[in-house]
Every structure is written in C-alpha cells, then in structure tokens.
Amino acid sequence: MWRRAVAAGRGVQGPLGMAGRRWRSGAGSPDRAAPERAPKIYTRTGDAGFSSTFTGERRPKGDPIFEALGATDELSSAIGLAGEFSSEKGHTFVDQLHKIQCMLQDVGSNLATPLSSAREAHRKRTSFSEKPVLELEQWIDSYSEQLPPLRAFILPSGGRSSAALHFSRAVCRRAERCVVPLVQAGEADPNVAKYLNRLSDYLFVLARYAAMKEGKEEKIYIKPEP
C-alpha cells in the first residue's frame, strides 16, 4: 500500500493542473486531448504472492514486514472507526485521532523501507523521529490528570466511542508485537516501536476519558463464582 502510494505520487499533475495542457498555435483552438485516465487500483503484480518494499525488493506477502504493514493498516482503520463514533458525540480529540492516522502512514513508510536494503536517500525520506512519541506522552498526561483513579481492571466498555478506542488499543498491541522483531533485527527504526507502545497507552486513557465525558459506566472485571 505504501509503495503504491509513492508510485502514484509520481504521476500527479503539476501545479498548473488542467491549465498545463498544451494548446496548438495558429488554429486558435485547443487540441482535443484524450481524457486523462485514473490509475487502476489493481496492478496484478501481487497475484503470485509477492509484493514490493519501498526499496524495490520483492518479498513474499507472508514476510514479517508485510505482517507489520497489515497490522498498522488495520490499526488506522480501527482508529478511523473510533473517530467516527467519537465525532458523533462531539469529542474534541477527534483531531488528534486524525493526526495519529497520518502518523501511522509514516510508520508504514518506515516499515516498508527495510534498513538492510535502504539507500541513504530512502532512509532520509522515511525516517521516524522521537517527536511524535513525546507528543503522545503529553496527551496521555493531559487526559490522565482528568480521570478518576484506576482501582480495578476495566473491561472494554463505556459506550461506543470508548469501546471502539479499546478495540483500537488491542489492535495497536498486535501491531507493536509485529514491529518489535523488525526493530530487533535492525530493519525498522526503534522510534516506530516506541510510538506504537505509547499509542496503546494513549488509546487506553482516551477510552476512559470518552466514557467519562459521555457519562457512561465502565464495566470492571468481577471474578466469577466457582
């Protein structure tokens, strides 16, 4: 997905857009240019079970890199759903969720650029700094200060917004588990794993915050009777 997006970017129109088409001189009328065709969403290049990294490598689709990319894609989708539920309730943190989805695209770009085969130009284009990690920590601290103390194990609940954020947190944990081996193997930036680790904490705190703001009850774990 990330490599395709980069490739598609090469074919976009320039700043002139439609005005950039050439006009025939002398006749006083424009050429009848053929209508521009949108690129097809399918490429058939993955039909044999292989896909490409940003560095141009062809790897099996079951490669750990694509497992991590898939989990990150799922995470962004889950956050998008949580954002829609939260927007319906008027939560102001939806802008943060949108920014996180954009950051996850950068996470994917880094993952799609295995360091073992990346040239310096690749690394500069897809590097991932610690700044987004620190921003998440600031958000976590801000919401945590407004929440009641945590005295029991909370089950995913607290209304649709909160439950969807809890689901996103669980997907985030899985994405992190996929990314950590890549970092340990030297294929991805350590800040990517840090970001996902901090993001799951953010989503947990935000789920509690959403339940509190909506006046919804958080269900807690009660040990069943033997």
Q: What is the pLDDT of residues 76-121, one digit of tens each?
A: 999 999 999 999 999 999 999 999 999 999 999 999 999 988 899 9
What interhelical angle do 190-214 and 94-111 show, nearest 10? Answer: 160
Q: Range with the lowest mean pLDDT among 8-17, 145-154, 199-208?
A: 8-17
What is the average pLDDT score of the chain? 86
Do the Cβ atoms of 13 and 38 come closer than 8 Å? no
Q: How does DSSP classify residue 19?
A: G
Q: How confident is the model at residue 45 (pLDDT cuts 50, 70, 90)?
A: confident
Q: How confident is the model at residue 5 (pLDDT cuts 50, 70, 90)?
A: very low
pLDDT at residue 31, as a whole number: 53
pLDDT at residue 16, as a whole number: 31
Query: Residue 51 is inside which H or E element, if any?
Result: strand 50-52
Q: Say if residue 33's pLDDT is above 70.
A: no
**42: CB partners within 8 A, 6+ apart:** none
Sign of CA dihedral 85, 87, 89, 93: positive
- Cα(191)–Cα(209) distance, integer angstroms: 26
The residues pairing with 58 across neighbouring beta strands, listed in sequence order, are 52
pLDDT at residue 118, as a whole number: 87
Q: Range with the lowest mean pLDDT among 4-13, 50-59, 101-110, 189-198?
A: 4-13
Quick: pLDDT tens for 131-188: 999 999 999 999 999 999 999 999 999 999 999 999 999 999 999 999 999 999 999 9
In percent, the amount of the chain with pLDDT more than 90 equals 67
pLDDT at residue 7, as a whole number: 42
